Amino acid sequence: MAEASPHSELAREIAREIAALRDDQRREYLDYDPAVHADHHQFIETLIQKQERRQRLWVHVRNTVIGAAVLGFLGLIAKLGAVGFEIFMQGLEAISAPRD
């Protein structure tokens, strides 16, 4: 039987060490207390709800500002129309007034 190469034995030892480290990490990061896991889920849910409330608030503010701008613009058009009508009426009065 052929003797095992020292390099292949070293490679197997390194592979075993890597597998052991990987298993330790897996236990450390995945096998933690279920209560902690539930707390993490609750925290994330709270963050999501907070972000949704903030998003709804910004939509409401945006719509309110756009509505106020539209009303302001319509008010400006109405004011310009009223001033234009007043000037037009003054012009009519000037034309229809008797001349001396």
pTM value surpassing 0.75: no
pLDDT at 25 over 90: no
Per-residue pLDDT reduced to its tens digit, 79-95: 999 999 999 999 888 88
Q: Where are the domains of the chain?
A: 1-31, 57-100
Dump pLDDT digits (tens) for 36-49. 778 888 999 999 99
Top-confidence residue, 77 or 91: 77
CA angle 59, 64, 67 (to 5 degrees): 125
Cα–Cα distance, 94 to 100 (Å, whole number): 13
- The alpha carbons of the chain give a radius of gyration, in whole angstroms, of 40
Tokens found for residue 21: 């480290």
Q: How far apart are CA 63 and CA 73, in angstroms?
A: 15
